[in-house]
Amino acid sequence: MRFDVISLFPELFEPFFTHGINRRAFESGQVAVKLWNPRDFAEGNYRRVDDRPFGGGPGMVMMAEPLWRCLQAVRAERAEPLEDQAPLVLFSPVGPRLDHAGVVGWSNSTGAVLLCGRYEGVDQRFIDACVDQQISLGDFVLSGGEIAAMALLDAVARLMPGVLGDEGSHQQDSFNTALDGLLDSPHHTRPEVWEGPHGPVPVPEVLLGGHHERIARHRREQSLAITAQFRPDLLDHARAQGRLTPTDEAFLALGKKL
């Protein structure tokens, strides 16, 4: 798959592609990414890409024309049939929140063109004419869409075969269908007893016994408990989808917390 990223600050992405385990997806080409700076398509000595908003107000607005020229260059290089063109995605508060299902969808796609807005936003005329989809990371404002683009690319990259050390790792992630959309259970590692700030804290004994069925049930109960405590909406959704067993419901009826 291929993602083309339109950003005024493409240099922000370079370290992202070369560090961490997910770099395997980018270095192997499983997730190909090309960066485009709309300033390269602006006119005049100053390569201006923004201007003051009509009607007054603070800040600047990204201009439609440089973005349009940049997008045309992206489309020309991708050389896709009109009916199969990759969608142009704008990171914006207007869009629905990115979730696990959305990430899985992108991981099974051929990619997209990602537009990273800056300043007060993008000229609405360009959005109306060219943007196919808008995505939000949540109800807060970032200085630009670069972090949002990295979040999407990171989430997609880790789902690619061979990227994670253990092929089953992402299957146990929070929100994954393997966990019925619930939060993941807590994790523990060595030492068996940690001399913490409030005294010794042992690993739960069930994790040390080697009894796989008991361990699996313990982790399921911990997943149910942490979801009920922190994200009951996910629990309600799993229940509505028929993903909770009678044993799950019996455990939840006890009202146990982590």
- 65 as an active site residue: the answer is no
Of 50, 118, 123, 158, which is the active-site residue? Answer: 158
Count of beta carbons in the 10 Å neighbourhood of residue 226: 18
- 158 as an active site residue: the answer is yes
Of 93, 217, 231, 243, which is the active-site residue? Answer: 93
Of 65, 120, 154, 184, which is the active-site residue? Answer: 120
- 197 as an active site residue: the answer is no
Phi-psi group of 171: left, alpha or beta (phi > 0 → left; psi -120 to 50 → alpha; rest → beta): alpha
- 231 as an active site residue: the answer is no
Of 173, 184, 217, 239, which is the active-site residue? Answer: 173
Give the residue numbers marked as catalytic: 93, 120, 158, 173
